[in-house]
Amino acid sequence: MARNPLHARWSSGLLRLAALTLMGVAAASAAAVASAAAPGLIGQAAPDFALPAVDADNVRLSEYLGQPVIVLFWSSRCAVCAAQLSRLDRLYDTYRSSGLMVLAVSVDSDLVRAQRYARAHAGHFPILLDRAETVARAYAIERLPTTVLIDRAGVVRYVHDGRAEDRSYITQIRALLDDTDEAPQSALGSSDH
């Protein structure tokens, strides 16, 4: 029995429509996951903050305006945070000569425990203490570890809620390093933290 050419075209069209629908659902799901990680944060000015470092003076995010910055929120109670600190230390060692900065923000309320953990998992970047979690609240952190990637202009470009693959970080870090637009002086969101 010969196949009807109109029926074949109609079936082919239905298959394409189904494939496009599935791709749209997948894209919407990915967008929902990204926005659930930090609602309204991506594309916005990163909230500025100043926090004490474990082994140094206060560090202010706005000091790094003009450089891409990774801010990692972690806790000594987080089972995977040590691995994330180590991963970011390796990436920092690779890309710091290109201008990348990493700031690791502890949300531990127990200062001694946070300092002990920070020293045991020390990297080559500042480890900051957010005991009152005011900075974590400003960044709408709901899960640890959470990693926020900020561009040279002080705008949040990427958020990883939990662990991400090294390949994702490398691609995103390179995109931030390749973005050479001039950083506006007032891009970071003002904050009293």
Which is more confidently placed, 96 or 17? 96
Question: Domain locations in the chain?
Answer: 1-37, 50-178
Rounded Cα–Cα distance for residues 173 and 51 (Å) = 24
In this structure, which amino acid lies at residue 170?
Answer: I
Do residues 165 and 192 touch, judged by C-beta distance below 8 A? no
Rounded Cα–Cα distance for residues 52 and 155 (Å) = 23
Question: Residue 11: is its pLDDT beyond 80?
Answer: no
Which is more confidently placed, 55 or 163? 55
Q: Hey, what CATH topology would domain 50-178 get?
A: Glutaredoxin (3.40.30)
Q: What is the pLDDT of residues 128-170, one digit of tens each?
A: 999 999 999 999 999 999 999 999 999 999 999 876 667 888 9
Rounded Cα–Cα distance for residues 126 and 102 (Å) = 7
Q: What local confidence, expressed as pLDDT, does residue 65 receive?
A: 96
Question: Residue 184: is its pLDDT beyond 80?
Answer: no
